[in-house]
Amino acid sequence: MKDFLNTFYKNHSLLYKVILFIATTFLIVYLFPKSGRFKYNFEKGKPWQSETLYAPFDFAIQKTPEELSKEKEQIKANATLYFSIDPKVLPIVKKAYEDNFYTTFPDSIYRDESRSLKKQGEQIIDELYKYGVLEDHLSRVPTTEVTVLENRVERYKTQFSEIYQLEYIKRDVLEKLEKANLEGYQSEYIALFFDIIKPNLTYNKTFTENVINEALQAVSFTRGSIEKETLIISKGEIVEGDKFLILKSLESEYESQVWNESNYNLIVFAYTLLVALALIILLLFLRKYRLDVFKNDTKVTFIFFNVLLMVFLTSLMVNYNSQYIYIIPLAMLPLVLKAFFDARLGLFTHVITVLLLGSIVPNSYEYMFLQIIAGIVTILTVSELYKRANLFISVAQITMIYIIAYFAFFVIHEGSVETLKWETFAMFILCGLATLFVQPLIYIYEKLFGLVSDVSLLELSDTNSKLLKQLSNEAPGTFHHSLNVANLAEAAANEIGANAMLVRVGALYHDIGKMKNPTYFTENQSSGVNPHDELAPQESASIIVDHVLDGIEIAKKNNLPDRVIDFIRTHHGTSAVYYFYMKEKHVNEAVDIADFSYPGPKPFSKETAILMMCDSVEAASKSLKDPTSTKIDKFVENILNKQMEEGQFLNANITFKEIQVIKKVLKRKLANIYHLRIEYPE
């Protein structure tokens, strides 16, 4: 069990990467649209680029969404309305008319005339109730067909115009009285009818909607069919009209046949192989060229997360509407990775992601070409991301590249610009605006993953920050030394292409541990009193060496990033406090140099190696008396050669040529500091 735990602990990082790889692979495959891919790319109004196409099997021609929508709207507009009739209402209305007629009309009317008026009223009631009186207000076309039901059984059919609505009864009665020349008795009739007329029809909404739904469900989604081996389209022929509809029908039928139940699992397995292959290549790249990133589980997780995020956003848009695919700001991926790592890693990851997405987007070649070109331009143009103007300029350049490349593709396909889709250009502009979100996104990533970007480094380089102000107050000599080292290191980093901002920040904070015992370091001994005179050499060496551990402790308390703390840990490597070692050796020949050495580790990057060189040279340069160019050259050579002999740079990815370049920079800078002129021969 103990052996198993030891093995697990030794390989836990590798096991984590395996789990991360498997989880990311399955998530990406899950996000991919679950539909087949038609092996031909085509667009309406553009020439057919592939070989002459014959129908591979029998299939039906599908109606377009517009045709189906129009057909359904016609069904709804022409649908029969169903009403329910209450047969008890009419007898009640007639009885009420009989009972109230003589009390409504005056007694002065002659008997014969009274009978005539009563008969006229009965005729009006019969006309009103011939097809029924409706209480609800319905706004329908007069010719709409109406079916009247009694106890859910059809009683008669008519048109909507034949039905009277209760709210218009007064108007309708007046019209009938006018036709019968009974205008003189309008008030009596209106008063009588107002009291007795009741609706006998109600709109049966449920029954009507059920009938409409049945009709909608019966709508055919196809019109006609194509037999196997029928010529569909010839090479170079324009894809339009019926040709386009037939191709869309074939595409849909092909995808439905490919993604059937029998081979679904096989196709998903094939997708998994492709995704796994792409992610393995990404991991192999990290292991071969970015070993420090590969060993850091957080950084690998961060890279995989960003790939997954871009796949998620693109899949979402493909499922919603693939026409808007270019709104997704894919150029953010290399921007983010360049901000935290380097341009090469950012571009490689971007290309891998684009290759993954090429299997799910329409017009995959065009899409991949545009996105890879945009990624390359992003890497080449974006420098010093912490400067806002640079980001805006780069985003404008990326947007222009999108527009130019799309325009070129369109002209190649169309042969003209008459049908150019200007809305696509608007999508590229929106994509550019979305890319500007990279600044707040970088800040969010810093908090989530504990990484450091150039934006944060710029903030840390501010000498008015709390920690650097404390350093300048408590150890002013150390603060001035740190500024000088920062200037030297930044110049050296720029000369060999290292991260100048990172090394500058590391230089500013590398000696913050000296704040704990500032007077024990010569640069802070302004009074001329040296407390080391009263200490044994080993005690003095212990205090000097401890400033590294004290610096790490102070840095962690102030939440400095690990990348900055690395400079504190490595700026002396495993070198010895040589002065106190030699002092002790005069007394004790058996002294162990390990007791006077820094704990390390040795520098493990170009930036930490640069800081070690610049720190040693700047500190030792204070002891130069009557400096000349020759003295400075020899001085720099001696210090750096000694560090190389001790193997301090063996773990850093820095070449001998780069060290020689750094030597030249340091010699030139020190000569400028001491205001030396060229020594002319006598």
Give mean pLDDT in consecutive 10-residue pieces for the chain, a chain of 682 residues: 57 87 93 66 70 74 78 83 86 83 70 75 82 76 80 84 78 76 73 81 85 83 75 75 74 62 73 93 92 88 94 88 84 89 90 90 84 87 66 83 83 70 82 84 85 81 90 92 94 91 93 92 81 86 92 92 91 88 81 85 92 92 80 90 92 91 92 63 50
- DSSP annotation of 668 reads H
Residue 107: predicted pLDDT:
64
- pLDDT at position 12 is 79
Sheet holding 153-159, edge to edge: 153-159, 145-150, 81-85, 201-203, 133-134, 164-165
Quick check: 483 and 673 in contact, CB under 8 A? no
Structure tokens at 567: 């400079």
- Cβ-in-10-Å burial (0-12, 13-18, 19+) of 461 comes to buried
Res 680: pLDDT: 46
Residue 351 phi/psi, 5-degree rounding, is -65, -45
- According to CATH, the topology of domain 454-673 is Hypothetical protein af1432 (1.10.3210)
**CATH 1.10.3210 residue ranges in the chain?**
454-673
Query: How many Å is the Cα radius of gyration of the chain?
Result: 44
Q: Supply the pLDDT for residue 608.
A: 94
User: What is the C-alpha separation between 672 and 627, in angstroms, rounded?
Assistant: 11
Structural contact between residues 549 and 582, judged by C-beta atoms closer than 8 angstroms = no
- In the 8-state DSSP scheme, what is residue 597? B
Beta pairing partners, 226: 59
d(C-alpha 33, C-alpha 259), whole Å: 11
String of DSSP letters for 210-246: HHHHHHHHT--SEEEEE-TT-EEE-TT-B--HHHHHH
Asked if 521 contacts 512 with a C-beta cutoff of 8 angstroms, the reply is no
Residue with tokens 């504190």: 568
Distance between terminal CA atoms of the chain? 80
Per DSSP, 341 falls in state S
In the prediction, which pLDDT does 38 show?
62
